[in-house]
Copies of this chain bind each other. A is one copy, B any other.
């Protein structure tokens, strides 16, 4: 949501010159991505105008993880998934170092992020997610889920019972019960693959009902494939505040996904638990950010209760048949 690194035009032109993409014509810092600096870049190459996103990775992205993220984009793009390609520099590298920070140049894709998805759009997102899971099967990269169960425990533990109770008096008990359940019943036997792990509407570019780009793969990792379905379900099938489940979007998302990759019986059985896990994951980061954002900060943290409500929804017995 901010541009952290300041870059003069001359420096930007030198950075762009390391890539075979023509001459710099425009560079606008864009308010996208929560932890990196991003610019929308335009170049002129012979008579054609080309556009790219330049990302400078700030402290929250490990440089050691970049080959995984960037090679994954190339792998998926080569298999016709709607993801941006990485532009390699003149020496063939997918990222460069600039004053101690890594930077990458990535293809610009058209499209906008919807905030009131239609069933047609949810269906298309389900399909695109399945496409990624299938295309990722032969991706050789490995990265553990940095935002897995251990991280949730840590973040929620840091909030403390008082911190959680300040959000909602019933929250400490809910969190304790669900964390224990998800930990003891985690379906480690299910198929694993590359997963996006953060496929919110913000990270999907669309034109009408067509997905033009899945972006922001910086939580991507290898984990239980069906967990990614659960994350995407939690991200798309509720009103933003979590108060209203949207059954038409749910049906469309699952139908779109299964049109390309039918879920196994074991996966369908595990999905209610995985959806509770996905809710806990976003509850954990949001509750932590809520407790750790200064009162006068420019950025308002997102409401943790929006995911506490999803968690409570998925935990109801009457909703166990949702993924059947």
Contact = CB atoms under 8 A, between A and B. Distances in A.
A115 B29 contact: no
Contacts of A166: none
Nearest to A25: B110
B24 A112 contact: yes
A17 to B, nearest CB: 13
Interface string A197-233: 0000000011100000000000000000000000000
Contact of A298 (B2, B113, B205): B2
A298 B1 CA distance: 11
Interface stretch (A5-13, A90-98, A249-257): A5-13
A162 interface: no
A149 B261 CA distance: 69
Contacts of A170: none
Nearest to A7: B115
Contact of A26 (B12, B42, B112): B112
A66 interface: no
A147 interface: no
Given A32-B29, A296-B296, A8 B207 contact: no
Contacts of A13: 112
Given A31-B2, A32-B29, A12 B112 contact: yes
Interface of A: 1-3, 8-13, 24-32, 40, 42, 110-116, 205-207, 294, 296-299
28 contacts: A2-B2, A2-B31, A8-B115, A9-B112, A9-B115, A10-B114, A11-B115, A12-B112, A13-B112, A25-B111, A25-B112, A25-B207, A26-B110, A26-B112, A28-B28, A28-B32, A28-B40, A29-B30, A29-B31, A29-B32, A30-B30, A40-B40, A294-B296, A296-B296, A296-B297, A297-B298, A298-B298, A298-B299
Contacts of A28: 28, 30-32, 40
A115 to B, nearest CB: 3
A207 to B, nearest CB: 7
A79 B286 CA distance: 53
Given A30-B30, A40-B40, A207-B25, A8 B114 contact: yes
Contacts of A296: 294, 296-297
Contacts of A298: 2, 297-299
A39 to B, nearest CB: 9
Nearest to A13: B112
A25 to B, nearest CB: 5
A29 B28 CA distance: 9
Nearest to A115: B8
Nearest to A116: B10
Q: Which of A10, A27, A31, A113 has the most CB of B within 10 A?
A: A31
